[in-house]
Structure 1
């Protein structure tokens, strides 16, 4: 004689895990309640016994009133304030708030045109953008000129107090070149303190002064040419076309 026993339901059942706000997270398993006679399952905390929601890109599913409700979901996406252009990361489900766009502003000079629904550049902003670009290029021209002179003349190897004597040394050397009986008090004192031959020092000072003068004149001319081009630039493209590259005399 065989026993007529009712088969047990499956030991586990797929259920839906929700977050604290009722939004669907994932499916998990509920265990059969072996102590119950009605075939019920022990649901983990925050779970519901329902089929998973539809997969709708850009939406989150929320369990409400016994059914899935689908809401726009932009969480983790970056949008931009149309008032300030600052980025804003969405961290809540629902329709997007007013005053944001998914298009980043090209730069700080553009402002949002609500009618055109786009970032635009006003006439005054365009003028300010050009003025700022010119100011930055002007500074770059001057800084590059000074850096080139400093490298070529090895100014970093000479202390400031000694650099301040170069003009007088050059003047004395030039005067001596015209008249070898001309007084050269500074060069004479340097030669004495250094233990160097005075005429040899005068010759070297003259050569160095003339080389520096040629270098300074050449770089000054290049710098002024860059400034002329910058003053004539009518737009950003013209400013960008100015490529700064200083060279040595005769190069």
Structure 2
């Protein structure tokens, strides 16, 4: 191979390819706002794509607009639909717990917009609240009935337990098998039964209105096994 050097062998500078129209200085892609195809809710912003065959044309995909993104506020969403200029602000309670104004039952809300009249974000303070004039109001009569029923069931369960204790201890006495402690316990349970019988179930009963039993711990355990739950009155 010859080591001779010829001028025509020098590398010639390569001209860079001309810039495409969207690559030129000062050309900035516009911002496009993407929206939900059904609700028109703003989903996010991005840059528009260029049209390689149409100089100066930027592509706007379906369900998108060339515009400034909305300013989002807590508790609201922004929507934009065909034929409407600008963003519309709508209430957004999605994911929140709502309450039926008819029954007080709960649900998780999934729709945009204001809540219909049959639902509210305000929670009732008790199971006896009624929706009156756009607020929850305690139904005192219904609460009193429920409290009375609960008190009656409590009295019945306490009487059942004390009667069982009296019968068991009385058998020991009748058979002359009772210890001194059992004789004392029998008398205490009989006294308790008398006081318990004097309790009149009602809505105004307080814990101090119930007599103390010879074994309050065992009595409380008995109530729990029977699925009993106290009902606290609401102010």
Per the normalisation by structure 1, the TM-score is 0.59
Q: Determine the structure 1 residue equivalent to 2:120.
A: 101
**CA 1:55–1:111 in structure 2 vs 1: closer, same or farther (change >3 Å)?**
same
Q: Deviations over 1:114-142 (max 9, x none)?
A: 3x7332224x3243033123124324534
| SS state at 2:200 partner | helix
Q: Which ranges of structure 2 fall in alignment gaps of 5 or more residues?
A: 1-16, 216-235
Partner of residue 59 from structure 1, selected from 72, 76, 81: 76
Q: Deviations over 1:202-240 (max 9, x none)?
A: xxxx344x5434323313323443453x427661xx434
Distance in 1, matches of 2:207 and 2:91, equals 44
Moved more, 16-25 or 30-39: 30-39
Q: Determine the structure 2 residue equivalent to 1:18.
A: 35
Q: Determine the structure 2 residue equivalent to 1:214.
A: 184
Say how many residue pairs are matched.
Answer: 194
Shift of 1:24: 0.9
Q: Which ranges of structure 1 fall in alignment gaps of 5 or more residues?
A: 156-162, 174-205
Structural RMSD (CA): 3.9
Contact 1:32 1:42 in 2 (8 A): no
Contact 2:75 2:93 in 1 (8 A): yes
Contact 2:192 2:213 in 1 (8 A): yes
Distance in 1, matches of 2:136 and 2:189, equals 45
Distance in 2, matches of 1:219 and 1:20, equals 74
Shift of 1:76: 2.0
Q: Determine the structure 2 residue equivalent to 1:135.
A: 152
Q: Determine the structure 2 residue equivalent to 1:239.
A: 206
Contact 1:226 1:244 in 2 (8 A): yes
Residue 121 (str. 1) matches residue 139 (str. 2): yes
Per the normalisation by structure 2, the TM-score is 0.62
| SS state at 1:215 partner | helix
